[in-house]
Amino acid sequence: MVAFYTAARSASSPTPVLDPTLFLPRATLIPCALILTVDSSSRDTPVLGEVTQDVKAFGSGKVVIPAGTLVAAFASANRVRDRIEVKGSWILIFVKTGKEYEFRGIACDHIYDSNSGHYGLTDGSAGLHGQIFYTDRYAELKAFGAAALAGVAQGFQTVQGNSYGGNSLQHTPENAGLQGLSNVMELMVQKYMNANDGDETYVRVPASKEFYVFTTSVIEPDRASVGAYGRDAKAQTLWEQVKEVKAGSQQNGISAELKQMLNDMAQRQSQLEQLKSQAAASPSTPNW
Residue 285 falls within a domain, yes or no? no
The beta strand positions in 201-257, using DSSP E, are 201-205, 210-215
Q: Are residues 206 and 122 in the same domain?
A: yes
Residue pair 190/147 in contact (Cβ under 8 Å)? The answer is no
Residue 207 falls within a domain, yes or no? yes
Q: Are residues 36 and 110 in the same domain?
A: yes
Q: Are residues 167 and 75 in the same domain?
A: no
Q: Tell me the pLDDT of the chain averaged across its residues.
A: 76
Residue pair 22/57 in contact (Cβ under 8 Å)? The answer is yes
Higher pLDDT, 96 or 233: 96
On the question of pLDDT at 83 being above 80, the answer is yes
Residue 77 falls within a domain, yes or no? yes
**Secondary structure (3-state) at 216:** coil
Task: Say what the pLDDT of residue 158 is.
Answer: 65
Residue 257 falls within a domain, yes or no? no
On the question of pLDDT at 178 being above 80, the answer is no
Secondary-structure percent of the chain, ordered helix, strand, coil, rounded to 5: 30, 25, 45
Task: Say what the pLDDT of residue 27 is.
Answer: 94
On the question of pLDDT at 221 being above 80, the answer is yes
Q: How far apart are CA 288 and CA 284, in angstroms?
A: 12
On the question of pLDDT at 66 being above 80, the answer is yes
Work out the average pLDDT over 228-249.
58
Task: Say what the pLDDT of residue 262 is.
Answer: 72
Higher pLDDT, 122 or 217: 217
Residue 66 falls within a domain, yes or no? yes
Higher pLDDT, 168 or 8: 168
Q: Are residues 118 and 36 in the same domain?
A: yes
Q: Are residues 223 and 158 in the same domain?
A: no
The pLDDT-based confidence of 269 (bands split at 50, 70, 90) is confident
The overall pTM is greater than 0.75: no
Higher pLDDT, 9 or 257: 257
Give the domain CATH number at 95: 2.40.128.260
Cβ neighbour number for residue 9 with a 10 Å cutoff: 9
Q: Are residues 95 and 47 in the same domain?
A: yes
Q: How far apart are CA 173 and CA 9, in angstroms?
A: 99
Q: What is the Cα 176 distance to its own chain's centre?
A: 54
Q: How far apart are CA 174 and CA 177, in angstroms?
A: 5
Residue 122 falls within a domain, yes or no? yes
CA 106, 111, 114, 117 torsion: positive or negative?
Answer: negative
Cβ-based burial of 39 (10 A; exposed 0-12, middle 13-18, buried ≥19): middle
Question: Per the structure, how many domains does the chain have?
Answer: 2
Q: Are residues 226 and 162 in the same domain?
A: no
Last residue of a domain, one of 157, 179, 195: 195
For 189-210, what is each residue's pLDDT tens digit?
Answer: 666 555 545 556 788 999 999 9
Work out the average pLDDT over 257-285.
72
Q: Are residues 191 and 210 in the same domain?
A: no
Angle (CA) 268-13-253 rounded to 5° is 55
Q: Are residues 149 and 215 in the same domain?
A: no
Domain that holds residue 181: 136-195
